[in-house]
Structure 1
Amino acid sequence: MPITLAQLIREARLRAGDMTQRELASLAGTSMENITSIENGRNKNPSPEIISGLANALDISVEDIFHAIAGTLNRLPWERVSDLDLKDPELELMFRQVDSLLIGEARERVKAFIRFTLDEERKRKRREIEEGKKT
């Protein structure tokens, strides 16, 4: 069953450190009413500006948002692993080695570190966006 735009945006928002709708609206440059409307499925075709803002704020691709709008997104972006094609070959090799070599607690430590690092980067990115809007 395809992932809807409402599902994609809500799941991505919650995955980004339990971000509120108000925080997402601010980061995406739109109103909280627009975010609520999108997440409740009332606005199924937001403007290109909102789509771009959502993609930047949620760290997801514009293409994934368009696929959700078209009803052709079959997996959430963070659930896809078979299409691992990173810009950094060393990083790609490391991810593949973690997947094939580590088990149990070692694997969980790596995943916890990656989650922590990504959460910190998302927070930093949000702060930069917020500071940019204040000036």
Structure 2
Amino acid sequence: MTSELGALLRAYREALAPEDVGLPRGARRRTPGLRRSELATLAEVSVEYLTRLEQGRDKHPSPEILGALADALRLPSDERFLLLRASKGTGGACTTEPPADSVRPPVRAFLDRLEPSPAVLLNRVGDVLAATSMYRRLLEPFGLFDDGHPNLLRFVLTEPRARQAYPDWGHVADRQVAALRMESLPGDPHVAELAEAMSVLAGAEFSHRFAAPLPTRYRTATERMRHPEAGDLRLDVETLALPDADGQRLVVHLPADEATSDALDRLAGRRPGALRAV
């Protein structure tokens, strides 16, 4: 079986177009993105070694090789970090600390400053730790906050009303499962426990996504929502990883167009035009 590192390398390779690195596409190309031999040439490693990495038969590349592969794949800094973390996690050692359930005061103060934008703080398994009042107004009608321990992953995959909230539900589900895999180290027992529960609760809708190739993008997206008061919304989603050991991430939703900006202003009881897309 391939490792997390191998799956990530392959996903990045298949997402990179030949013309992006100055190579001809050619008429007989059968693979999406770069061929394995092309990436090996760009990174100055052997095809055999790259094959072992992608297949999980070599799980500990040197920092120099990992850097060369990241350079060849044209990865930005956040995706380089994911690649590095995947290489560190394949050795089997990972944290056994439970997911954080507390919010540091500076983080809570920062979240308060984001009002009236919809924003939510999550831990590495998708538990909702804190949220702005506007985020609650967006999701409360669909049942996210019905119980005392809201979890965004469980909500999206198991709550029928989530499909009403998100017209592009499949893409939202893809991103939530990807976040569970990518925001924690391989072998995390708490992630494994949640994955086992989700396989029972959501069945194939979860298990197929959890076993799928790792995505190359999941921290940013444009999501559509259909809200009973605000109507149809288009929201640019940005995920910000906090620099601590708790695996917390802040997910901020910004209006993607003027109509959404005005709708959010009305929902917040503000004069239309006060919340603007940047």
Q: TM-score, normalised by structure 2?
A: 0.29
SS of equivalent residue, structure 2 residue 239: coil
Tell me, yes or no, if structure 1 residue 78 matches structure 2 residue 222: no
- Report how far residue 70 of structure 1 moved: 2.7
1:46-76 CA deviation, whole Å, 9 max, x = no partner? Answer: 1122101110011224322111113386164
The match for 1:27 is: 42
- Report how far residue 14 of structure 1 moved: 0.2
Distance 1:25 1:6 in 2: 14
Q: Deviation above 3 Å: which 4+ runs of structure 1?
A: none
Residues 37-46 or 72-81, more deviating: 72-81
Distance 2:74 2:216 in 1: 10
Tell me, yes or no, if structure 1 residue 101 matches structure 2 residue 257: yes
The match for 1:11 is: 11
1:84-132 CA deviation, whole Å, 9 max, x = no partner? Answer: 6xxxxxxxxxxx66xx129xxxxxxxxxxxxxxxxxxxxxxxxxxxxxx
Structure-2 change in CA distance of 1:19 and 1:77 (3 Å): closer
The match for 1:117 is: none
Letter paired with 2:219: R
Tell me, yes or no, if structure 1 residue 46 matches structure 2 residue 64: no
- What's the % identity of the aligned pairs? 34
Q: TM-score, normalised by structure 1?
A: 0.56
Distance 1:68 1:7 in 2: 10
- Report how far residue 77 of structure 1 moved: 4.9
Distance 1:26 1:80 in 2: 30
- Greater C-alpha Rg: 2
Letter paired with 1:48: P
Residues 65-74 or 30-39, more deviating: 65-74
Letter paired with 1:9: L
SS of equivalent residue, structure 1 residue 83: strand
Richer in strand (by share): 2
Contact 1:64–1:77 (CA under 8 A) maintained in structure 2: no
Letter paired with 1:74: M
Unaligned runs of 5+ in 2: 18-32, 95-180, 184-214, 221-237, 241-253, 259-278
Matches within 5 A, 1:84-123: 100-101=256-257
Contact 1:21–1:32 (CA under 8 A) maintained in structure 2: yes
Matches within 5 A, 1:62-73: 62-71=80-89
Letter paired with 1:6: G
Distance 2:85 2:44 in 1: 22
Distance 1:27 1:70 in 2: 23
